[in-house]
Structure 1
């Protein structure tokens, strides 16, 4: 079963046809030139033999006229065909670029959609676990026994949900009360009031709310790239209960983001491909592909949710988040480059 022709293959065939047309016209021109030479020689020979060659001279003149007409027709046909084939080649090439650009946009959407689905689940996790009775009790009493139980409980959650580096129970004063991996991250007692998510988490008004932090490098997690999710732990685990503390889940960003980008599938003839997850300001949050890790900032068209652009030999497709379920997204983009 033969493979379906691609636009690149059609463009190549069109280019080959144009070259063949040029060769054919050149051959016709060569034959016409030869006929002209034959006609000229015939006229010279007819003149040499005098009256007896008059009829031959007439034939020679007709040969010259016909060869001239053939030459004119060949030249006109060649110019017309070359122009039409050149136009067709340009149209097919433009269509090929547009089709590739559209496919890159689709891949960019797949990237951002996959991470959005993942992040939606993270928003559910933090709100659900904040109602855990052991965590509520620990935040309320702050007794050593209750905090040890809370740490053990968080450890059980971490064993089941491997997408997190750690989970913290934080007091409303900004001190970490307990965490799920104390043997790995000695964060208990650390002051996190200056964390980008802290004030916003304290301001969450009910159990449906949460804060999704930015992707950042955490000194408390030994330099890991993390995305903090936070929501208050409330009295009785009630939706509108009094805030007792804050539950913070530390999403292990790098491996999860790389898993999303490396799952994208490209065609064998696509060439060098790079994929990115980018925040609303163009900051690269994750990158995959040859030398992609060297890229830290991308400039995308303003106020354009999705599209593609060609810059020299680089074709770029991008798509802004559309969110998933109750997760509205953070204005991030999926971006795909074909080099």
Structure 2
């Protein structure tokens, strides 16, 4: 059985801040004990002095009492020496431990959350590195370049079938589309949007214009995370490249391939699931991914989506932490990239509201 007085304490997680407050409480108790002990010793001394005075007045009859009074005074001095040593050693060391605990709170809270921010941004960047390989590989598919080189109904239909097969097995994608050089969509993968996309022009769309400017089959482009107007504003991230004659790296440009990464389901899962915070911590924590333009592209707080979050106190550092004006700790980490994918300057960010000292003291039942 757990003692009743301990049951409330078990609900309080062992955090650096709670350890600091327990240390402070121990230090306060010891300082109070030391002060009380000094007061008692002082009273005993006064009592012994008064006893000696009374023994002297009593003359010969008070000699025996004087011996007792002297012994009391000697014991009081011993108690005083022990109290002084206790205060010098134990209380002094508790004070040192308190200062070390304060330093550890700042360091450990920041390091722990910075590591989490780094882990999350690296998870998504490693995932997206594979997308850069996918788009360049699939752009060489014979069905795609032949459909653009000779756009007969049969070849265009077969290109759509090939895209549908890819989309069925690669569930991280919302859609895959092929355009000709004018930007007209000639084939797409997702049956839910095919009727809407057929012959639609993407001329002027940033990803199409950038893909059309690629110099070889080794090149690819990445658009920004945003709602896709052609997919009912579903949040997507487009990776694209050119489709070239013969599927060759240096072949003549015939059109483009754009793969729509399903950001709403895949990217959002990074901040909502991979952080894996306990409920009592999650409710006071906001986890975000921000892009190279400081736009929030994933957040456990939906209200922050596509707003700007400016990091402060970086001082040129790729990762670190600081306390904001509200007393919350802000931990951040810039992506390290993966292989030849630089990660686009994305950051993982964790903002955590600190537990109040009063709430921790109440949970631990300490004054």
Establish whether residue 297 from structure 1 lines up as the match of residue 308 from structure 2: yes
Alpha-carbon separation, structure 1, partners of 2:248 and 2:315: 42
Distance 1:302 1:78, change over 3 A: closer
Inter-partner Cα distance in structure 2 for 1:10 and 1:104 = 18
CA distance in 2, matches of 1:6, 1:162: 39
**Distance apart, 1:153 and its partner CA:** 2.0
Q: Tell me how many residue pairs correspond in the alignment.
A: 332
Q: Per the alignment, in what secondary structure is the counterpart of residue 225 of structure 2?
A: strand
SS in 2 for 1:162: coil
Correspondence for 2:293: 281
Distance 1:267-1:180 versus aligned 2 partners, 3 A rule: closer
Q: Residue 238 of structure 1 corresponds to which residue in structure 2? A: 248
Matched, 1:255 2:269: no
In the TM superposition, residue 170 of structure 1 has moved relative to its aligned partner by: 1.0
Distance in 2 (CA, whole Å) between partners of 1:270 and 1:154 is 43
CA apart distance, 1:150: 1.8
Corresponding residue of 1:336: 350
Deviation at 1:19, TM superposition (A): 3.0
Aligned counterparts, 1:12-51, within 5 A? 14-43=23-52, 45-46=54-55, 48-49=57-58
The 5 Å alignment of 1:186-265 reads: 186-261=196-271, 262-265=273-276
Contact 2:140 2:247 survives alignment (8 Å): yes
Q: Please give the alpha-carbon distance, in whole angstroms, between the structure 2 residues aligned to 1:308 and 1:6.
A: 17
Structure 1 position 208, deviation (Å): 0.7
Correspondence list, 1:48-87, <5 A: 48-49=57-58, 53=62, 60=69, 67=76, 71=80, 74=83, 77-78=86-87, 81-87=90-96
* Corresponding residue for residue 319 of structure 1: 333
More off after superposition, 38-47 vs 301-310: 38-47
Q: Deviations over 1:124-174 (max 9, x none)?
A: 111111111111122122333322222222122211111111111111112
Q: Matches of 1:45 and 1:214 in 2, distance apart?
A: 94
Shift in Å at residue 255 of structure 1? 0.7
Alignment-derived partner of residue 148 in structure 1: 157
Name the residue aligned to 1:168. 177
**CA distance in structure 1 between the partners assigned to 2:269 and 2:68 by the alignment:** 81
Provide the alpha-carbon RMSD of the alignment. 3.0
Query: Residue 109 of structure 1 contacts residue 334 of structure 1 at CA under 8 Å; is this kept in 2?
Result: yes
Instruction: Tell me if structure 2 keeps the 8 A contact 1:18–1:81.
Output: no
1:265 partner SS = coil
Moved more, 66-75 or 120-129: 66-75
- Give the TM-score normalised by structure 2: 0.79
1:95-114 equivalences under 5 Å are 95-114=104-123
Cα displacement string for residues 81-131 of structure 1 (whole angstroms, at most 9, x for unaligned residues) = 545422321212321431232222222121111111111111111111111
Structure 1 Cα separation of the partners of residues 203 and 39 of structure 2: 87
Whole-Å Cα distance in 2 between the matches of residues 103 and 196 of structure 1?
38
Of the three residues 322, 337, 347, the one matched with 1:309 is 322
Aligned to 1:129: 138
List gaps (5 residues or longer) in structure 1: none
Indicate if the aligned counterparts of 2:16 and 2:109 stay in contact, CA closer than 8 A. no
8 Å CA contact retained: 1:234, 1:241 = yes
Give 1:180's aligned residue.
189
